[in-house]
Amino acid sequence: MSGGAGPAQGGLAGLAPMLARRLASSAVTLVLVTLVIFALANLLPGDAAQEMLGQSATPEQVAALRHQMGLDRPAALRYVGWIAGLVHGDPGQSLVAGMPVREIIAERLPHSLMLAGLTTLVAVPLALIIGMGAAIHRGGWVDRALNIGTLSLVAIPEFLVATLGVLVFSVWLRWLPSIALVSAEATWGETLRSCALPILSLTVVVVAQMARMTRAAIVDQMDRPYVEMARLKGAGTARVVLRHILPNAIGPVVNAMALSLSYLLGGAIIVETIFNFPGLASLMVNAVTSRDMPLLQACAMIFCGAYLMLMLVADVVAIVANPRLRAQ
């Protein structure tokens, strides 16, 4: 311990193996996720060929279409084919739209990213303020009020938030449109106005969870002896929070942010549907309704990949922020 453990060990060089291990673990999980998604999507014998041709089709017609779609090959081969396609950026052909899944997604993905990005910009600072405010006033009426408020908010269904938003801002006040139209010609101002309600709804959905976890991460540090020590050195509240608690809470707080943002992926499904927002989540709902498996699988993989990416980023931040992990 005391020997050669100089400050140099705290440098970034020691991080590489740990980051590599973390990355490899994510990659393994991603591969396992593809297996699960593929297995689930191909669970039932009733297949797309039958679905497309309807009940009146003859067995010969179905068999011919099955062959044409490659559905008569063994599952393992189809899985390998699917994975190979994914790696090359070609997740197959949509059964319903009859066009490459890639093109459909390429059209929708930017919209979803924009919605998620704008929501993050609003939600993260808001959640940090609420969470830190509650933690600093722990046990006081501010904290208790925020606790009840956020506790209620996390349990409210997204469609209630969204429909109330429409009722208030579109129907009664007539400030904002109830349908989110996104077009390439629209100016940023127009886009923002038409996306305001979806962003507002999503923010309400994620901010409560994020704020609660931020509070928990900070409160967890507040009882540590080093915080008492800092106070007994004569440090004021601002110094204790900013210089002592925050460096230790960064890991858990970033983790909380990542978890909550990953919740956006699910929350977006309802919100996009209500506002007719042309994003990836509503696309996935359509894929479920029409049982368009190639499209569904691709959408699911994007959501899972995004989740894994968020968790990876959170872990890397936690590792870099913690000198103990850094020096291991």
Partner 1 sequence: MGARVPHVRVENLRVLVPSKGGDIAIIDNISFAIGRGEVLALIGESGSGKSTTALAVMGWCRHGSRIGGGQIFVGETEISALSEAELRPIRGRRIAYIAQSAAAAFNPSRTIIDQVVEPALIHGLMSRQQAENKAVSLFRALSLPMAESIGNRYPHQVSGGQLQRLMAAMALITEPELVILDEPTTALDVTTQVEVLKCFKAALAQAGASAIYVSHDLAVVAQMADRIAVLKQGTLREEGPAAQVLENPRDAYTSSLLSAVRPAPVAAKAPCDAAPLLAIRGLVAGYGALRDGVPSVPVLRDISLELQRGGTLGIIGESGSGKSTLARVIAGLLPAAQGQVLLDGTPLPPAVAGRSRAQLRQIQMVFQNADTALNPAHSVAGILGRPLEFYHGLKGDAATCRIAELMELIRLPRDLIHRPVRELSGGQKQRVNLARALAAQPQVLLCDEVTSALDTVVGAAIMRLIDDLRRELGIATVFISHDIHAVSAFCEDVLVLYGGAPVEMASREVFNGASHHPYTRLLLSSLPAMDPAWLGRVQPPVPTCAAAQCADLCRFVQRCPVAVPGLCDRVAPPVHAIPGQRWLCHFAPTSVTERDQA
Partner 2 sequence: MSAGAMRNAAAFVTGLPWAGRIGGGLVAFWLIVAVAGPWVAPHAVGAFVDSETFSPMSGRFWLGSDYLGRDVLSRLLSAARYTVFLGLGAALVACTIGTTLALTAALWSGWVDEVIARAMDTMNSIPSKILALVLVAAAGSSLPLLLVICAVTYVPGNFRIARALAMNLVGLDFVTVARARGESRRYIALHEVLPNMIHPLLADMGLRFVFIVLLLSGLSFLGLGVQPPYADLGSLVRENISGLTEGAPAIFAPALAIASLTVGANLLIDATKQEKA
Q: Does 178 bind partner 2 (CB under 8 A)?
A: yes
- Tell me: does residue 144 bind partner 1 (CB under 8 A): no
12 binds partner 1 (CB under 8 A): no
The b/e string for 10-45 (b: 16+ C-beta within 10 A; e otherwise) is eeeeebeebeeebeeebeeeeeebbeebbeeebeee
* CB nearer partner 2, residue 230 or residue 293: 293
Does residue number 324 form part of the binding site for partner 1 (CB under 8 A)? Answer: yes
Rounded to a whole number of angstroms, the distance between the first and last alpha carbons of the chain is: 11
With tokens 């908010």, the residue in question is 153
**Residue environment code for 119-128, b if the CB has 16+ CB neighbours within 10 A, otherwise e:** bbeebbebbb
Distance between CA 238 and CA 246 in Å, rounded? 11
Q: Cβ atoms within 10 A of the Cβ of 97, count?
A: 15
Q: Whole-number minimum distance, CB 297 to partner 2, in Å?
A: 8
Q: Does 241 bind partner 2 (CB under 8 A)?
A: no
CA distance 187 to 244: 45
Interaction residues for partner 2, span 35-54 (CB under 8 A): 36-37, 40-44
Handedness of CA 199, 205, 208, 210 (dihedral sign): negative
For 208-237, b/e burial (b = at least 16 CB within 10 A) is: bbbbbbbbbbbbebbeeeebeebeeeeeee
Residues 193-252 that bind partner 1 (CB under 8 A): 224-226, 228-236, 239, 243-244, 247-248
Q: Which is nearer to partner 2, 166 or 211 (CB)?
A: 166
Q: Does residue 89 interact with partner 1 by CB under 8 A?
A: no
Interface with partner 1, residue 140, by CB under 8 A: no
Q: Which of 77, 106, 164, 229 is in the footprint of partner 2 by CB under 8 A?
A: 164
Q: Does 166 bind partner 2 (CB under 8 A)?
A: yes
> What residues numbered 86-105 form the site for partner 2, per CB under 8 A?
none
322 lies in the binding site for partner 2 (CB under 8 A): no
Q: Which of 195, 199, 198, 181 is nearest to 278 (CA)?
A: 181
Interface with partner 2 (CB under 8 A): 29-30, 32-33, 36-37, 40-44, 147-148, 151-152, 154-160, 163-164, 166-167, 171-172, 178, 262-263, 265-267, 269-270, 273-274, 284-285, 287-289, 291, 293, 296, 299-300, 303-304, 307-308, 311
Interface with partner 1 (CB under 8 A): 1-2, 5-7, 9-10, 224-226, 228-236, 239, 243-244, 247-248, 321-324, 327
